[in-house]
Structure 1
Amino acid sequence: MRLGFTPAQEAFRREAAHWLDAQMTGDFAMLKGLRSQSAFPEERRAWEGRLARDGWSVIGWPREHGGRGATLAEQVIFAEEYARAGPPGRMSHIGIELAGPTLIHFGSAQQRARFLPRIAGGEEFWAQGYSEPGAGSDLGNVSTRARLEGDEWVIEGQKIWTSLAQFADWIFVLARTEEGSRGPRGLSFLLVPIRQPGISLRPIRQMNGAAEFNETFFDGARTHRDNVVGGAGNGWQVAMGLLGFERGVGTLGQQMSFVAEYEALVAAAKANGAIADPSIRDRLARAYAGLRIMRHAALRSLSANGGQGLAGDALTHKIYWATWHRALGELAMDVLGQAGEVTDAGADGFPLLADLFLSSRADTIYGGTSQIQRNLIAERGLGLPREPRGEAR
């Protein structure tokens, strides 16, 4: 595995960095450093359009679908430079990183022609309809149902933790389409227009003051019968394929945001004298070592098989970074001391380190709880017997 980059790749880095820095000191300077996922929605839509216009929106997609056909190394470089330059989180990330790649791999020619250009162009935005109140990390418990009525699927049920659904035009929904089916069988992956009378949203206010998540209710929501990806009843295969994309290159960009948090934490410890505490210094050193391990592990996994899919060790990434990040949030509070407990929220939420603590509490829950992640590592990674389900213990 190469941990460095070639001269050509470093030239690509300079190109990306120059373009990003120009935007963040120019037309979109007001968005630099914005951490809120729900503030300034119109400006962030315009930012997505600028990325698309200048060819930086979907660089990893094949050229025939509007991308640049960027290599794995180039995608890693852009993710890192994006995080370094400080633009806002991508409003279109669910479409670009999840819906788009899923359609490229599993969608029909008609579906790709209809949806991919609008995702790549920053014209349509997406939400994810997976988790439910009774089916969070275990998607096999999905109870949202859809039935065919003529040329339309009619959907009844509820989804939760639907990120940025208030700004979305479409939502992909994992629904049960075979009466009496249980577990992974009988599920379908549906593409549903979100702005219709049969769908209502209720924001979920988080402990850090943000409201980027929603409850989404389906009460007779409709979508055309052709808007099923991979065929009716094959939703589990498509859903699992999508989760593979979720563990992809974006993790390197995420780690750059972790670097910024770590550096801010070290600066705070120096400023208030907490750095003089040997236990604080030890925890900061361990956090730095964990951050470097995280980066090397992600690069190794992404470079496996020539970048064609994720290696089996990718199963460990989520539980590793989530545990590390939560511990960093706890360290931030110990460094800040009482000052961290009485801080106020501004227009962009709480200050960085207080927000780090509050938001990181959810890291070991969303995207698959740590308990479920351990089951995945045991069963899929190590080949151990499946945990008994539905049996008395």
Structure 2
Amino acid sequence: MHKIFIVAKNVFSTRILKPTYYWMIFAPLLLAVGALLFNYYSAEQQKNSQPSIAIIAPQGVREILNNSKSEYKVAHTTNLDKAKMLIKDGTLDGALYISKNFKTAKFIYNNLSDKSMPFEALQSDVNSSRATLQAQKLGLTQDQWQVLFGNTQLKQVTYNESTRKEQPVYNGYSSTQIFSQAATILVFFLLTSYISIAGTEIGREKGDHLLESIVSAMPAKNHFAGKMLGILYLIGFQLFIYGIVFSLAKVGLHALGKDNLIDFTQIQGITWQCATITTLLMVSAVMLYVLLASLLASFVSRSEDISQATSSVASFMLIPYFVSFIAQDSPNGTISVMLSYLPFTAHGLMPIRISHFATSYTNGWISVAISFVAVIIMYLWAFRTYQKNVFNYSELKPLKALISTFKKQ
């Protein structure tokens, strides 16, 4: 057991001293920061680039619209012909024309403008101004008008039969959906990195013919266990850094008054069961793919064959990643349901189905149990394959060597 920890410590200490390991950690963070800054910049640009629209309407209507404008700037032009000339030369982006008693209403705009035309906002403002004028004619007070025509904000919430708790929806997505999508993307980055690490750690020593001397000092199964434990150390260290960065970002943004960059309130809707199931499926997926890469690397005869072993696993990894996005639209589809229980694809499908409330938490725990049973089976298969192939230097490529073992059986 002591030797297993020595190997694990060696894998961990060697990797954390390499700049490439930290690039692997911070590259996803830089991508996330870039996406947040881009969204923030786009939102600010949208605020500062409201279209300039002239309102040609009776005096009372024009005054009401001037007060109720939301997504556009009102230009000081009250003549329709002049407004059309200004639209033509690009000075104005559009003109809202309303005739007396609202018999005619139309919006004229320049389709060459780079501004977004707020047709829905204009429609709402026109209807609101018409209602206001009618209220004035009927002698209604402002409070009475609000009772009749005031807006009620419709709040979107989803209801989970398992937890019987309402969960808020942000911009059409529940907090659990956002969490599951983020977890799927994070797993993709983790797998991309650790599949390569596993293949290198297992295949390099054999490809360089160093494994014979190592195995003479310790059993092959202990050496394999140490390698896997070292990779688990690296994964845990990376997740620990993400936790620290997230905490510092929350405190730092609050101190700088930039809390609006990240909406931390969305996390409040995530239940502990959803978070736990998603996290466990993430961990099991990383372990499964790392073990599969290690298994294939056991057949390596030369260092040049390592890339072939890892690329095969990486190609297989893309299937659940892309299917998870398809499952967003059909979480109860036959393929989505089947793949949500299969060990190598459950991490991409089951969290999505849970976030859409297309299945219960009980089924989520069943999927977790199946995945961890598969991890145990995969580990036993991988280390036995590693033991058998310590001194095997076949000319077959790793994938072909694996297929040939099935044929022999």
Mark yes or no: TM-score above 0.5.
no
Instruction: Answer with 1 or 2: which has the greater Rg.
Output: 2
Kindly indicate which of the two structures has a greater share of residues assigned to strand.
Answer: 1
Higher relative contact order (CA 8 A, sep 6+): 2
Q: Which band: TM-score by shorter chain?
A: under 0.3
TM-score, scaled relative to structure 1: 0.24
TM-score, scaled relative to structure 2: 0.23
